[in-house]
Chain A
């Protein structure tokens, strides 16, 4: 019945058009804006579910493909589609946006319609980025989503929001313009090789490239994606942006926008420049290990809860990039490419899982912040006495963040560490240290905030979670548990695509 509908386009454009309607409808009456925004986000979620149910897991090719010529002078097409890598991320996006809309329900009182609209438009742009199969279309979405995020942090953020949001924008903008030059270069190169320039990502993945240009292209991609992930040493925008962003902004930033960087590595860096990736994989591995270990220590000393979680995000995203780039170390070490799937899939699972867990962690901080207007750990203590339900969830998500078996946090980290063992004992050793470190900083924060005697009057007067807050936490907890206990459906979706990716990467593209 739905087979003729341009389903993917609907998933992209429903929130964008809906966001504009929210802007138009809700300028005076905020409740209408909120209800409309919730309906739009639910509709998008509903539309995105067939992407999963009708997805053919045995195929590695693009599904739900749509291709419409867009800018013929430059051979740019409106070309979208999903595979096993992008589909779970799109579902994560539609799911988290509903949570974020609910999270902002009572908290946001200033310019509510604009707030809701910004998140809906952001949602559409993020889905577009994941779905784009044309490099220039990808770039348009990729850059355009900076605009709503810039506005979200800048209008509804904390006291130092202007600094944070401009830093966020300029960092990501600088990172991505080099990617743009690379894309233009490859367009020209494709014209030399095939007779016609192209921005089609699948064609670019097949385009033969000599090693020097590959290395330059790889470095430009690395800059673009490393800023987004973010990897050490270009991570400094993230703590600022997270601290100043409103809760919803932090959630989207941590849960989805960071994943765009990881997705970029899988979609662009590895398949388009495999030889350069092989030559420079040590660079990414070192940066990832620094992120995992060093940033883990940095997280330990944070006094601000949001900053702590932000650093923890960087550390966890280090697992993702580590998993992706262990490829050649594993194949060199074991002599076959069968083992590398573990690293790539582990990275993917880690991305999805981190989306839920970090989102939930930021929501937990948001729950406290809305009551006390402080993010400082020292202002809290003994919250469990006044907010037992909240404390339950907080401890649960903290455990998940630390990688407790049974939660989704365990699956991804375990897979990546297993892959690291195949590559090199010391990689695995360093990566495993972080399990301890992660437990240390998360649980120590929980100990200081949640447990112990009631620290002050403010904590004594705290009220436990409302039904709305309970609901958000509950469904996130369910998601974390499901992936933790039974990750097979998620893995099954990405198997074919990852296998195909592995064969693609292991073939040299040198002419």
Chain B
């Protein structure tokens, strides 16, 4: 067998990012604490360049390389660009927060970039091993990022909890993959897809269940959601920002690669499982969120309910349904990074704006950011004209089109329940008097990025045409 040099071009963004992370890591070694800004700037440049490379790499056709283990298709390019842009926002929001807490270290950025690399690999995975490789690269980076605030007991607890549960979930995923491998004799998703029809149903079903379990854990779907509130709450907000946004896009991609690229032939089997996961997520996520007083925990439960919607799009098993789910995942990441950005905005040295009550009277301090918070909350609740409304419409439309009208009804009824806790945040922001009169201390770059984030939620909400068409055309 001759060694054939694989085509490296489709993986250019990943290769560039990997090289950049290594360079940044080395440069960071020689930097003093006061010049840590260089790492920050370099990381942003790396991300933006990677996004640009992904953009220039865009191809209408699906290209595979490395013997089919790496896929470059429109979905991969769009999701990679989204991930990079979201993480740019994360880094900008996180910078001051890290400084104020003495954890402004280069590791945050290098680990974050490694995580991005992991996500990009997941998004482009064409093989069980590539999926797993990307997943572990992402997960290990996140475990370490959470634990970076090592004096904090809650952060250590969160990291430990996430690590143990995450390891078990990864183990389950591997176990499932091994079963599918045992039956089909291949790790390659395209080959598996062809082999499904003639494979042993029983073993395949077992494998499928374990794979879904792994995916559901990463997404945070009920009943595999237990880690999310604790991890969101325990992590420093700078890390929660990261965990809560871009990885959900990657988790959607993983779900798509495994279930659709690999196991599309078992659609009837996984549809039922996913429907149950989705309904449970929407119901429990929205109801339990009502009881939260800590806004990070509340947003964790809100994430769970959003995951229910993302799964609803995939459940339909239609091209348009995948497009809708992808649109939802991107929209969710934009809203989520904005919501946690607001928490960072209100926090300052020695003060964590972690409780919903810490948002009291924001309208008095800053009407503009009160508006941004309102836009984010109404968007999450799915009230037009904000972006989140269109994400819900896209998914609901596909659910109705597939004849799952009752499923759509569950979705909207739980959204009404969910609207209550979002309204409560708006109530605190607008209707209550401020408790402490300290003005906002956030720096200009956070303010600008957050304003941009809020405006994007409104502006794309007013004209979502391009983004929806882009996501829909991906799978057409």
Contacts and interface: CB of A to CB of B under 8 A. Distances in A.
Interface stretch (B131-139, B299-307, B383-391): B383-391
A74 B320 CA distance: 11
28 contacts: A27-B367, A70-B465, A71-B390, A71-B464, A71-B465, A72-B469, A73-B465, A73-B469, A73-B472, A74-B397, A114-B367, A144-B385, A147-B374, A147-B383, A162-B427, A165-B427, A165-B431, A166-B423, A169-B419, A173-B383, A173-B416, A181-B409, A184-B396, A185-B400, A187-B397, A188-B397, A188-B400, A188-B401
Interface string B363-395: 100010000001000100001110001100110
A114 B374 CA distance: 14
Main secondary structure of the interface of B (DSSP, over half): helix
Contacts of B22: none
B447 to A, nearest CB: 16
Nearest to A177: B412
Interface in B399-448: 400-401, 405, 408-409, 412-413, 415-416, 419-420, 423-424, 426-427, 430-431
B457 to A, nearest CB: 13
A185 B383 contact: no
A329 B469 CA distance: 48
A215 B416 CA distance: 23
A440 interface: no
Main secondary structure of the interface of A (DSSP, over half): helix
Contact of B384 (A27, A114, A139, A150): A139
B408 to A, nearest CB: 5
A170 interface: yes
Given A74-B397, A154-B431, A169 B464 contact: no
A180 B390 CA distance: 12
Q: Which of A73, A143, A144, A166 has the largest count of B CB atoms less than 10 A from its CB?
A: A73
Contacts of B465: 70-73
Interface of B: 363, 367, 374, 378, 383-385, 389-390, 393-394, 396-397, 400-401, 405, 408-409, 412-413, 415-416, 419-420, 423-424, 426-427, 430-431, 463-465, 468-469, 472
B416 A154 contact: no
A170 B416 contact: yes
Contacts of B383: 143-144, 146-147, 173
Interface string A125-161: 0000000000010011001101100110011000001
Nearest to A143: B384
A297 interface: no
Given A140-B385, A144-B384, A161-B431, A174 B416 contact: yes
A236 B426 CA distance: 23
A421 interface: no
A44 B472 CA distance: 39
A64 interface: no
A451 interface: no
Nearest to B470: A73
Contacts of A72: 465, 469
A177 B416 CA distance: 8
Interface string A423-437: 000000000000000
Contacts of B431: 154-155, 161-162, 165
A105 interface: no
A178 interface: yes
Contacts of A71: 390, 464-465, 468
B409 A73 contact: no
A108 to B, nearest CB: 15
Contacts of B397: 74, 184, 187-188
Given A143-B384, A170-B423, A74 B393 contact: yes
Nearest to B384: A140
B420 A181 contact: no
A162 B400 CA distance: 35
Interface residues on A, range: 35 or more
Contacts of B400: 181, 184-185, 187-188
Interface in A153-207: 154-155, 161-162, 165-166, 169-170, 173-174, 177-178, 180-181, 184-185, 187-188, 191
Contacts of A161: 431
B405 A185 contact: yes
A146 B389 CA distance: 14
Contacts of B394: 74
Interface of A: 23, 27, 70-74, 111, 114, 136, 139-140, 143-144, 146-147, 150-151, 154-155, 161-162, 165-166, 169-170, 173-174, 177-178, 180-181, 184-185, 187-188, 191
A166 B393 contact: no
Contacts of B472: 73
B423 A178 contact: no
A151 B415 CA distance: 20
A173 B112 CA distance: 40
A169 B427 CA distance: 12
Contact of B423 (A111, A169, A185): A169
A161 B423 CA distance: 13
A177 to B, nearest CB: 4
A358 B423 CA distance: 29
B389 A140 contact: yes
Contacts of A181: 396, 400, 405, 408-409, 412
A111 B431 CA distance: 12
A169 B383 CA distance: 11
A131 to B, nearest CB: 16
Contacts of B416: 170, 173-174, 177
Given A181-B400, A181-B409, 5 more contacts: A72-B469, A147-B374, A162-B431, A177-B415, A185-B400
Contacts of B378: 147
Contacts of B363: 111, 155
A187 B393 CA distance: 12
Nearest to A146: B383
A180 B400 CA distance: 11
Contacts of B401: 188, 191
B296 to A, nearest CB: 23
Given A73-B465, A140-B385, A146-B383, A154 B430 contact: yes
B401 to A, nearest CB: 5
Q: Which of A150, A161, A191 has the largest count of B CB atoms less than 10 A from its CB?
A: A150
Contacts of A162: 427, 431
Given A155-B431, A184-B397, A178 B412 contact: yes
A177 B413 contact: yes
B336 to A, nearest CB: 21
A508 to B, nearest CB: 24
Contacts of A146: 383
B287 to A, nearest CB: 14
A136 B385 CA distance: 11
A150 B426 CA distance: 10
Given A161-B431, A177-B415, A181-B408, A73 B468 contact: yes
